[in-house]
Amino acid sequence: MFPKNCWYVACTPDEFAEKPLGRQICGEQIAFYRDQDGKVAAVEDFCPHRGAPLSLGYVEDGQLVCGYHGLKMGRDGKTTSMPKQRVGGFPCVKSYPVAERYGFVWIWTGDAEKANPDDIPHLEWAVSDEWAYGGGLYHINCDYKLMIDNLMDLTHETYVHSTSIGQKEIDEAPVSTKVVDGEVRTSRFMDNVTAPPFWQGNLRTKGLPDDQPVDRWQICRFTPPSHVLIDVGVALAGHGGREAPADKRVNSIVVDFITPETETSHWYFWGMARNFNPQDEALTDAIREGQGGIFAEDLEMLECQQANLTRFPERKLLKLDIDAGGVQARRMIDKLLKEEAGEISLKSVSA
């Protein structure tokens, strides 16, 4: 299952620029659109008349119009009108707290009274002119926690991404995992190594030599419920690694927002934020294309992994020291689930 009293990335504004968007999130079918004030609205994707998906309709004067019989609905889930029919007594469908921030639409699928947009994590790279961002979206048929495991243990890069970001030194470097300020941090540092092809290209882009040894770092940060930001980069060897002067290093933030759809599928919003040559749109496009190919390799592996786990549900997975980041992240998720279950139990008793 998945925690619901938290903010997830639901979509990007361009996905419903011309017509409503229907998307399943945390097991709930939701329709997204803009109301008469231009603000994002989200309601249950279910017409109270005949159960048709509201997302198959259209928006008129800020109202969501069902494409089956013309029922109109407001952002609060209340039916407002229907041609030649009395609809004042129609039950409301569920509406959801939403917020548009950092180029994404965020949604809260749990107790609406607990939703506070101030709890959405601050993303400096999304508001600073010194950073550029490019990304995309994949639908992946696997448990969202498998993606979190994947991102919190980058050992797989040596094998899954051998032609782009992988190298044998990833296997050989020790891994440190800590829980700090409510997030899980997994770190790996590799000194005096050869930059893999992806980073060689970025070194050239910044005007740095690509044939000299580098110090490389990977710092994965998991924040509940399912956000993983990874501080990655290389610096010319001997200049301080991650703390090297800006003219001796090239670094980025790998952005991963993982939103559950069902227990065996999720929406994966991926991207990379960089603080070098931020105005170069061609570079942003090139990095997006390259990174999209890298993540496509993860997609194939994860979907096949899920198929195996579904086929053999009785088999227990082994845990090694490299799995510590994913293990700690799952413990945080389990804690959230227990807290929510406890709150529901208290409500049912008091009722």
Q: What is the pLDDT of residues 89-119, one digit of tens each?
A: 888 999 999 999 999 999 999 999 999 999 9
| Residue that the structure tokens 């980073």 belong to | 199
Digit-coded pLDDT (tens) for 124-153: 999 999 999 999 999 999 999 999 999 999
From residue 265, alpha-carbon distances to 143, 144, 262, 307, 329 in Å are 5, 7, 5, 11, 18
- List every span in the chain annotated with CATH 3.90.380.10: 129-337
- How many other CB atoms are there within 10 angstroms of residue 49's CB atom? 16
Instruction: Tell me the mean pLDDT in the region 286-290.
Output: 92
Please tell me the predicted confidence (pLDDT) of residue 346.
Answer: 57
Angstrom distance (rounded) from CA 341 to CA 163: 45
Q: What is the pTM of this model?
A: 0.94
- How many other CB atoms are there within 10 angstroms of residue 306's CB atom? 17
Q: Indicate whether 349 pLDDT > 60.
A: no
Digit-coded pLDDT (tens) for 299-343: 999 999 999 999 999 998 888 889 999 999 999 999 999 999 887
Q: Give backbone dihedrals phi and psi of 24, rounded to 5 degrees, phi first.
A: -90, 130
- List every span in the chain annotated with CATH 2.102.10.10: 7-118
CATH architecture designation of domain 7-118: 3-layer Sandwich (2.102)
CATH architecture designation of domain 129-337: Alpha-Beta Complex (3.90)
Digit-coded pLDDT (tens) for 236-256: 999 999 999 999 999 999 999
From residue 146, alpha-carbon distances to 40, 298, 316 in Å are 30, 11, 14
> Which percentage of the chain shows pLDDT scores above 70?
98
* DSSP secondary structure string for all residues of 49-60: TT---GGGSEEE
Q: Indicate whether 88 pLDDT > 90.
A: no
Instruction: Tell me the mean pLDDT in the region 159-172.
Output: 89
Q: Indicate whether 192 pLDDT > 90.
A: yes
